[in-house]
């Protein structure tokens, strides 16, 4: 079932969508708005943030191709250090897209496993508390 459109709030340039207020092209997310989101909306935000971190990490790892000194193994654990010939911008874009996807999947995999372990631990802890 589709939810009704969210009306404009505040100034004419403000819009709210899924608890996130967009103000004249900038994104402002507050913890209060995230906590007010429904469960499915929070999961979508969780996935989008981790996916963005995967691509940003790959971009930082291969930033040396564009002249930036940002290469650390913590930003992209799945990115190998590849030596090849070609145009640096093309190598940067291809590696960031391909290996950024793998990095994002790795981040999502680890995060969902941790989130599942926390959820299971919380259920076990709550059931043990109610039995007392």
> How far apart, in Å, are the Cα atoms of 101 and each of 33, 53, 87, 104?
28, 10, 21, 5
| Rounded CA separation 59/61 (Å) | 5
pTM tops 0.85: no
Per-residue pLDDT, 6: 47
Report pLDDT digits (tens) over 54-102: 999 999 999 888 888 888 888 888 888 888 888 889 989 999 999 999 9
Structure confidence at residue 22 as a pLDDT band (50, 70, 90) = very low
pLDDT of residue 12: 42
CA dihedral 121, 33, 31, 10 (to 10 degrees): 180
Q: How far apart are CA 29 and CA 12, in angstroms?
A: 19
Residues 75, 54 contacting (CB under 8 angstroms): no
Average pLDDT, the chain: 78
- pLDDT higher than threshold 50 for residue 10: no
Across the strands, what pairs with 20?
A: 17
- Contact, 33 vs 6, CB < 8 A? no
Q: Does residue 124 have a pLDDT over 60?
A: yes
DSSP H helical segments within the chain, as ranges? 31-36, 39-61, 88-131
């Amino acid at each position: 079932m589709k939810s009704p459109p969210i009306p404009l709030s505040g100034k004419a340039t403000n819009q709210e969508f899924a608890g996130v207020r967009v103000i004249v092209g900038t994104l402002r997310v507050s913890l209060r708005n995230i906590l007010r989101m429904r469960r499915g909306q929070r999961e979508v935000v969780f996935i989008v943030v981790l996916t963005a971190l995967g691509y940003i990490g790959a971009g930082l790892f291969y930033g040396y191709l564009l002249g930036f000194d940002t290469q650390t193994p913590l930003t992209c654990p799945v990115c190998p250090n590849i030596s090849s010939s070609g145009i640096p911008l093309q190598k940067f874009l291809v590696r960031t897209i391909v290996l950024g996807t793998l990095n994002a999947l790795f981040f999502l995999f680890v995060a969902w496993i941790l989130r599942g372990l926390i959820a299971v631990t919380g259920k076990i802890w709550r059931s043990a508390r109610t039995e007392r």
